[in-house]
Amino acid sequence: MAELWAHSACELARLVRAREVSTREVVQAHLDRIGRVNPALNAVTVVLAADALRAADDTDAALRRGEEPGPLCGVPMTVKENIDVAGSATTLGIAALRDAITQRDAPHIGELRAAGAIPVGRGNMPEFGMRWHTASALRGATRNPWSARHTPGGSSGGDAAAVASGMVPLGMGNDGAGSLRWPAACCGVAALKPSLGRVPLDGDHPAPFAFQLLAVHGPIARHVADLRLAFTHMCGRPGGDPWYAPVPLEGPLVSRPVRVAVVTAPGVPCDSAVAAAVRLAAALLADAGYGTEEGQPPALERASEIYYQIMTAWGRVAERQPPVETVAPGEFARFWELFEPAWTAAAGGAAFDPMMERATIGHAWHAWMERAPLILAPVCARQAFETGADLDPGWLAGWPSALRMTVAVNLLGLPAVTVPVGCEEGLPQAVQIIGPRFREDLCLAAAAVIEAGTGPLTPIGPPAG
């Protein structure tokens, strides 16, 4: 049998249910893996060993009593530091919140626990989750398991690196501007950004309007089947979230062949390896019977501009907060200052009403997706950047356009699955499958086809140097 830490979440749950291994053995194997590889990666910021082993023992005792185990029985997971985990601090990556210990789980974390999953650690993130590289003054920088020179992505970079390196089979993060999909692409793992309203936001900590509209919680895993397993048990508790929609997880059948619009250049040229990854994924889908055709989403550039306008007006709340440099001094404050001109330029011409224009763009996308309900596209027009690149004003100027496709998905509340498709020059490559709202099932099915044609890339050990 392979090392327990190398197994998928689905396989671990099967082994525990079959009593082939104990839950304690599973949890201890992952804690040992964290102890071996995390010092080189700094992906897990806080190890919840005592609580995790206690939960494992409770699960094993319940199994001995003949109680029915949950579908995620004994599966270890990390949880990003901006998601509530009972007994742990919800820091948002900010030093001032290092002792902000909460007494309850976020709704979806409670649901995952009820299904048998066990939090074993917290995932690193940048301050506020507002950077596409994972580093903070509180926790330091996370390293990419593939290359010490390249970013692990952000803002869910700690969880992506932990999953990629075998520290856990599941990570829980969130995505307001690619913060699940981008680190998954950088680290060679899979991620699901659900539809707006699928997974409840925590009602005890109301977020600014822009984050309520644009950001969602979702899972990271090494296998698409594990994304599906986790997602199935993240959507059932409304938690007081007014956006929550109790929609069936499986939608109606669509006409066959399922058509896929292939976007190889989302308004800007892509790195050659990025474009090649999209073409490879398109070929795999076509071989499996999907109908693929080149396409370009309507109003893509304007969708990105409206995203930044909404985030500027209702997300940054600068007038309500102390200056950034007093809350998050150092590298983040420098990044924020340098990114400001690019952010302002990315917002484009002011809309009379950004929400009204969002609706207009949404109608246009809906009509366009009537022909091809799935979109295959890059997560970003660029590969994982070398660390420090996002502190270069010239480099930052082109970043919003490179990420245009991804933030449009956030703007419209659509689901998307990122799946790896191979390596180029030592770095993982990935694509995203985007679907109509509440059709995660279609995205996951297509992602599974791509995964079957390429195979998972991970787990991988820490990089040398």
Neighbour tally for 367: CB within 10 Å: 10
| Catalytic-labelled residue, pool 8, 179, 195, 304 | 179
| Active-site annotation holds for 193 | no
| Catalytic-labelled residue, pool 8, 22, 80, 193 | 80
Please state the three-class secondary structure of the chain as a single string: CCCHHHCCHHHHHHHHHCCCCCHHHHHHHHHHHHHHHHHHHCCEEEECHHHHHHHHHHHHHHHHCCCCCCCCCCCEEEEECCCCCCCCECCCCCHHHCCCECCCCCHHHHHHHHCCCEEEEEECCCHHHCCCCCEECCCEECCCCCCCCECCCCCCHHHHHHHHCCCCCEEEEEECCCCCHHHHHHHCCEEEECCCCCCCCCCCCCCCHHHHHHCEEEEEECCHHHHHHHHHCCCCCCCCCCCCCCCCCCCCCCCCCCEEEECCCCCCCCCHHHHHHHHHHHHHHHHCCCEEEECCCCCHHHHHHHHHHHHHHHCCCHHHCCCHHHHCCCHHHHHHHHHHHHHHHHCCCCCCCHHHHHHHHHHHHHHHHCCCCEEEECCCCCCCCECCHHHCHHHHHCHHHHCHHHHHHHHHCCCEEEEEEEEECCEEEEEEEECCCCCHHHHHHHHHHHHHHHCCCCCCCCCCC
| Active-site annotation holds for 179 | yes
| Catalytic-labelled residue, pool 136, 155, 156, 304 | 155
For 88, counting Cβ atoms within 10 Å of its Cβ (0-12 exposed, 13-18 middle, 19+ buried), the class is: buried
| Active-site annotation holds for 195 | no
Catalytic residues: 80, 155, 179
